Amino acid sequence: MNFLRFAVRRLLEMAVTLLGASFVVFGAMYLAPGNPASFLLGGRSASPAALEAIEKQYHLDDPFIVQYWRWLGNIAHGDFGRSLEYRTDVSDLLSSRLPTTLLLVGMALVIVVALGLALGWLSAVRGGAVDSGILVGTTFAVGTPSFVAAILLQGFFAVELGWFPSSGSGSGDGLGAMLWHLTLPAIALALYLVGLLARVTRSAMLEALEGEHVTVARSRGVPERHIISRHVFRNALGAVLTTAGLIVSTLMVCTVLVESAFSVGGIGQLLELASTTKDFPTVQAICLIIIGLFMTVNLIVDLLLPLVDPRIKLGTRAAS
Amino acid sequence: MTMTLVRRPGLAKVRTKRAPLYVASLVFAGVVVLLALLAPWIQPYDPNIADLGNALAPPSGDHLFGVDAAGRDTFSRLVAGARTSLLGPLGVVVFSTVLGAAVGVAAGWRGGWLDSVLSRGSELTLAFPGLLLAILIVSVYGEGLLAPVVALSVAYFPYVSRLTRSLVLAERARPYVAAYQVQGHSGLQICVRHVVPNIAPVVLAQSTVNFGYALIDLAGLSFLGLGVPALTPDWGRMVFDGKSAIQSGYPLSAIIPCLAIVLTVVAFNVVGERWADKVAGRTR
Amino acid sequence: MTTLDIRGLRLRLPGAARPVLDGVDLSVDASETVALVGESGSGKSLTSRTVLRLLPKGAATEGRVEVAGDDVLTMNAKQLRKLRTQTAAMVFQDPRAAINPLRRIGDFLTESARLNKLMTAAEADTRAVELLDAVGLSADLMRRYPGQLSGGMLQRVMIAAALMGDPRLLLADEPTTALDVTSQAEVVTLLADLRERFGTGLLFVTHDLGLAAAISDRVYVMYAGRIVETGPSESIFARPRHPYTRALLASTPSLDTPQGRLTAIDGQPPDLRQELHGCPFAPRCPLATEVCTTEAPQSTSAPGEPAHTAACHHADRLAREAADV
């Protein structure tokens, strides 16, 4: 199958799954007890103007499927509706907060990739006490929820030692201030995934180390460090890459915990505020963004995998 | 936040060589369960009685782990909180295991449309992280324990059903199944009497690991104030309540439940993965 | 000077009750083809791997393994690298497993020379293309991946790679076992041609005594980590002096004797977890007597043939029987 056809097919599959997800996100509203209008008002004063706005936005008199279709059409045009809590367009809310979250997630991603790969590599190559130590460490990393990491880091490095600010994102004071403010949140966000990636890297590298081609490379006098990079790590890369989607979506979802622990004004904190205040259009928008991001990353991984591993024909990953 | 055991990027070494970690985990998990069961008899104080004059008191003979910002005894809340903190994940594990195993067995045994519906459905659910689905549902239903438990069960069940399905497919290919079929046993009989008992250990090991992840997700919801109602003692909720005291330099009432969460999750993960290894060693 | 000279090689592994290799003596001269024959588990592959010091974890060695006069077992890292890149090279059993599927053929051929700075990338490419031509493959394979080649082609690539450093000694560890029958013949012919053309010594490890006798000047037969019989191919084939060799010959299908019945060797090779007393083959040997279970046989030469030796208490009796038939 040629690349273009495969890309188009995957894109269509992604569209179908996204459609299903959006259906769940939209339909969840109808699970609420009581009628949708009062749910959407979420206990806010039901002035006639507000009621009218909701009626107009959601066309609640129309059949369900028509409402859904209209809602979907608006989203396709970048219109996520109006926030009832903030009385502004959801898309404006998102675009003002997205940069902070992307910076935070970006920092965490750098930590995850650098530390996760390095620890997994060390663990697989060194063995012995180093391996055992890293394994115990990753066991605890994988068992530590990001909000627990956030609380512990905040209590120690921000409040006790005062090395880092304990809250806020430092936005408005330049990039340097933001990096400084977001360091602890990024570490908290990264911890679980560092453990996960280290374990995936370790086991994939151990599997590759067993390969006969590693012995062959040794028999030909290839220096050991080249064997590890060219034959062991290189061969583990495919397994590592397939975790990318999970890593990015976990990072995005966990910003809700970490941003609220550190009072960072990003998408995650917005999701927390929106769900406690029943600001449903905002919750819907953030859900869709996170799911869309997860699926986009997975699509990119699927397209990249055959380049990383020529044994994988396009689109045969589904079985994993 | 689920990691399936099929691939098990793993702990094989720690689990086999470092048996002490497994034993310690097993003992710890047992103690936590016992605390939860016996909470009403163990807790020295009513976990909801607020003694504001004593707020944020450090640990002492009277208050083993000190007192929180609202003047409640941290140890009592920890013990009482073990109940809610374990009950939620237990619910998730029971629902997702029963549902997942049933669907997985049916899909693996019958194949056909059921199988394709399952694989479509799990693709959709895999795109929906458990915590996100729970937040979506809670923002519709409002806080409480039931809604997030149901949401997480739905989010976790595809992991169980996919595992079950692959196990059933492998089991079905084994010669004894054909032998029973030749002897005239019905598919249902073979399934219930032989296939399910054979695959149960692996599924249960996976569910034990899922328990840890469900605990993490539910504690996270409570930490956001979206899980259990405000006054219920619960570990995640305790971290939420202790959050502001940290800023003023009294971290203890938040750190204690943090440690309880981490240790419990680690204990269940280590035990579950060890079981999975044992089972895998036995069947291969 | 001999290309390969192994003297009294003894190799112990943790968990094994007896040495896995027990007093192996073996030599290969320049331009000579020598076959090392035995069942799986006899230690033949381990012997050939020891020549490149590819030892299993925890292995302890005694004796000498000299390649072109230098003892492999006492080499430092630099000498060992020189041995592996320029003096000796190995062709492995399964080329599909031996060549990293993620890297191109050209990369595989040239990596050792490039990474050890023995050649520039351009020189290495040129040499690789020459060698591909020598093994009958075209230069455009350089950019292909292993998955796009057949097993036979891959084994030719493997042979070309082994010749990159112009080695004095080529070790071939069951190079045809993983291939289909036509590729097997091609690879054997190719190895013989190349040995002649490049003047390397060849140690051919195989379980197939018929094949060994057909291509080699001399044959070593190995059992339970010991050399039980060695000598010129024709005389081993015609007048085996060890019952194990005779049994191996009887279990090899042959076109010359289509009516002959194939016989399997009863029993199992001795367990590594048990110590050995006397002759290791005694439990499976039809000729075994009291002395075989108590006393380890020493190697003795055949009358009038000093190069043909066997470690059997009944070697002469066996030779007489063979002569009678």
Listed by start position, the domains of chain B span: 65-280
Kindly give, in sequence order, each residue whose CB lies less than 8 Å from that of residue C206, ignoring residues fewer than 6 positions away. Answer: C35, C36, C37, C174, C176, C177, C212
Nearest to A143 among B132, B223, B269 (CB): B269
CB A23 within 8 A of CB A68: yes
Q: Write the DSSP symbol of residue C84.
A: I
For residue C156, being part of any structural domain is answered with no
> Has residue A303 been placed in a domain?
yes
Distance CA B170, CA B18 (A): 31
In a domain, A82, yes or no: no
- In total, the C-beta contacts within 8 angstroms joining chain A to chain C are 71
Number of domains in chain C: 1
The pair phi, psi for residue C175, each rounded to 5°, is: -70, -10
Total count of domains within chain A: 2
| C35, part of any domain | yes
Residues A157 and A223 occupy one common structural domain: yes
Residues A49-71: pLDDT tens digits? 767 777 766 677 777 788 888 88
3+ Cβ–Cβ pairs closer than 8 Å linking C and B: no
Whether residue A33 is contained in a domain is answered as yes
Average pLDDT, chain B: 80
Domain's final residue, options A30, A52, A76:
A76
pLDDT band at C122 (very low <50, low <70, confident <90, very high): very high
pLDDT value of position B9: 38
Residue C112 lies in a domain: no
ipTM: 0.86
Claim to verify: residue A176 and residue A237 sit in the same structural domain: yes
Higher confidence at residue B10 or residue C163? C163
Domain extent for C33: 2-97+166-324
**Among the three residues A76, A101, A122, which one is the final residue of a domain in this structure?**
A76
Find the residue in C nearest to A307 (Cα): C102
Q: Which residue has the higher pLDDT, B124 or B215?
A: B215
Residue in the block written with tokens 């929106």: A274
DSSP string, chain A: --HHHHHHHHHHHHHHHHHHHHHHHHHGGGGSSS-HHHHHHTTS---HHHHHHHHHHH-TTS-HHHHHHHHHHHHHTT---EETTTTEEHHHHHHHHHHHHHHHHHHHHHHHHHHHHHHHHHHHHH-HHHHHHHHHHHHHHHHS-HHHHHHHHIIIIIIIS-SS-SS---TTSHHHHHHHHHHHHHHHHHHHHHHHHHHHHHHHHHHHHTSHHHHHHHHTT--HHHHIIIIIIHHHHHHHHTTHHHHHHHHHHHHHHHHHHTT--SHHHHHHHHHHTT-HHHHHHHHHHHHHHHHHHHHHHHHHHHHH-TTSPTT-GGG-
State the Cα–Cα distance between residues B227 and B139, nearest whole angstrom. 11
Residue A160 pLDDT exceeds 60: yes
> Which DSSP helix (H) or strand (E) runs through C235?
helix C233-238
Question: What 8-state DSSP symbol labels residue C8?
Answer: E
Name the pLDDT band for B8 (thresholds 50, 70, 90). Answer: very low
Domain carrying residue A68: 3-76
CB < 8 Å to A229, chain C: none
CATH (one of 3.60.20.10, 1.10.3720.10, 1.10.760.10, 3.90.1150.10) for B65-280: 1.10.3720.10
In-domain check, residue A128 = yes
Q: What distance in Å separates the CA atoms of residue A182 and residue A175, rounded to the nearest whole number?
A: 10
A136 touches A208 (CB < 8 A): no
Is residue B251 scored above 80 in pLDDT? no
With respect to residue C129, please indicate whether it lies within any of the assigned structural domains. Answer: no
pLDDT at res. C36: 92
Report yes or no on A317 lying in a domain. Answer: no
- Residue C4 structure tokens: 């390969």
pLDDT in tens, B130-182: 889 888 888 887 777 888 899 899 888 888 888 888 888 888 888 888 888 88
Residue of C119 and B250 predicted with greater confidence: C119
What is the CATH number for C43?
Answer: 3.40.50.300
- Chains A, C in contact, 3 or more Cβ pairs below 8 Å: yes
Confidence class for position B227, pLDDT limits 50, 70, 90: confident
Position C99 scores a pLDDT of 92
- Residues A144, B262: C-beta atoms closer than 8 Å: yes
Residues 6+ apart with CB under 8 A from A262: A150, A154, A166, A167, A168, A184, A185, A188
- C71-to-A45, B1, C57, C65, C74 alpha-carbon distances in Å: 92, 56, 20, 5, 6
Same domain, A58 and A97: no
Predicted confidence at residue A52, as pLDDT, reads 72
| Torsion of Cα atoms, B152 then B154 then B157 then B159, to 10° | -70
- Characterize the bridge pairing of strands C4-12 and C60-67: antiparallel
Q: What backbone torsions phi and psi does residue C8 show, to the nearest 5 degrees? A: 55, 40
* Contacting residues of C for A212, CB less than 8 Å apart: 92, 94, 97-98
Of A135, A152, A249, the CB nearest to B14: A135
Indicate whether C262 belongs to any domain. yes
**What is the mean pLDDT of the segment spanning A193-216?**
92
Picking from B68, B139, B248 by the largest number of A CB atoms within 10 A of its own CB, the best residue to mutate is B139
Cβ-nearest to A166 among B136, B224, B247? B247
CA distance C43 to chain A (A): 18
Which residues of chain A have a CB within 8 Å of the CB of C99? 213, 216
And the tokens for C128?
């690789």
Phi, psi of B181 (to 5 degrees): -65, -40
Select the highest-mean-pLDDT range: A111-125, B12-26, B117-131, B147-161: A111-125
- pLDDT value, residue B32: 87
User: Do A221 and C81 count as a contact with CB atoms less than 8 A apart?
Assistant: yes
**pLDDT for residue A108:** 95
| pLDDT tens digits, one per residue of A96-105 | 889 899 999 9
State the average pLDDT over residues B38-58.
Answer: 73
Q: How confident is the model at residue A189 (pLDDT cuts 50, 70, 90)?
A: very high
- Residue B284 is predicted with a pLDDT of 35
Partner A contacted by C235 (CB < 8 A): no
Q: Do C81 and A234 touch (CB under 8 A)?
A: no
Find out whether A150 and A188 touch, Cβ atoms under 8 Å. yes
The CA distance from C72 to C81, in Å, is 11
Indicate the pLDDT class of residue B15, thresholds 50, 70 and 90: very low
Among A25-39, B139-153, C65-79, C275-289, name the one with the lowest average pLDDT. A25-39
For residue A112, pLDDT over 90 is answered with yes
Q: What is the pLDDT of residue B266?
A: 92
- Say if CB C280 and CB C257 are below 8 A apart: no
Q: B134 — phi, psi (to 5°)?
A: -65, -40
CB of C308 closer than 8 Å to CB of C233: no
Alpha-carbon gap: A316 to the closest alpha carbon of chain C (Å): 16
Are C245 and C324 a contacting pair, CB within 8 Å? no
pLDDT of residue B179: 85
- Are C103 and A219 a contacting pair at CB < 8 A? no
| CB-based burial label for B226 (10 Å; 0-12, 13-18, 19+) | buried
The pLDDT, as a whole number, for residue B257 is 86
Taking an 8 Å cut-off on Cβ atoms, the answer to whether A234 and C89 are in contact is no
Q: Does the distance separating the beta carbons of B140 and A31 come in below 8 Å?
A: yes
Q: For C9-41, how does the pLDDT look when each residue is reduced to its tens digit (9 = 90+)?
A: 999 888 888 888 888 899 998 888 999 998 888
- CA–CA separation, B121 and B128 (whole Å): 11
User: ∠ CA B266-A133-B280 to the nearest 5 degrees?
Assistant: 55
- Same structural domain, A48 and A189: no
CA of A216 vs chain C CAs: smallest distance (Å): 6
B60: left (phi > 0), else alpha (psi -120 to 50), else beta?
beta
pLDDT bracket for residue A231 (50, 70, 90) = very high
Query: C208 φ, ψ to 5°?
Result: -105, 100
Neighbours of chain B (3+ CB pairs under 8 A): A
- Select the residue of A32, A145, A199 nearest B141 (Cβ to Cβ): A32
Q: Tell me how far apart the alpha carbons of residues C118 and B261 are, in angstroms, rounded to a whole number.
A: 58
Q: Which parts of C141-232 fold into alpha helices (H)?
A: 151-163, 181-198, 209-215
Averaged pLDDT, A192-217: 92
Q: Are strands C218-223 and C33-37 parallel, antiparallel or unpaired?
A: parallel
C245 located within any domain: yes
Are C264 and C221 a contacting pair, CB within 8 Å? no
Q: Which chain C residue has the Cα nearest residue A235?
A: C102
Q: What is the pLDDT of residue B6?
A: 35
A97 with A142, same domain: the answer is yes
Task: Choose the closest CB to A145 out of B142, B220, B226.
Answer: B220
CB contact under 8 A, C90 and A218: no
What is the number of residues in chain C? 325
Retrieve residue B88's tokens.
């939620």
Please tell me the predicted confidence (pLDDT) of residue C194: 82
Structure tokens, C260:
């002959």
Which of A76, A106, A138 is at the close of a domain?
A: A76
C31 contact partners, CB below 8 Å, separation of at least 6: C195, C196, C199, C200, C201
Taking a C-beta distance cutoff of 8 angstroms, is the pair A242, A308 a contact?
no
Q: Is C85 within 8 Å of A221 when comparing Cβ atoms?
A: yes
Which residue, B80, B56, B67, B34, is CA-closest to B237?
B80
pLDDT band at C325 (very low <50, low <70, confident <90, very high): low
pLDDT at A317: 47
Angle at A143 between CA A138 and CA A147, to 5 degrees: 115
B283: confidence class by pLDDT, cuts 50, 70, 90 = very low
Q: Does residue A197 carry a pLDDT above 90?
A: yes
The residues, ordered by sequence, that sit 6+ positions from C305 with a Cβ below 8 Å of its Cβ are C231, C232, C235
Residue B45, pLDDT > 80, answer no
- Tell me if A85 is assigned to some domain: no
Q: Which of A118-122, C16-20, C169-173 has the lowest mean pLDDT?
A: C16-20
Report pLDDT digits (tens) over C38-92. 888 888 889 999 999 998 888 889 999 989 888 989 999 899 999 999 899 999 9
What's the pLDDT band for A318 if we cut at 50, 70, 90? very low
CB atoms within 10 A of CB A144: 21
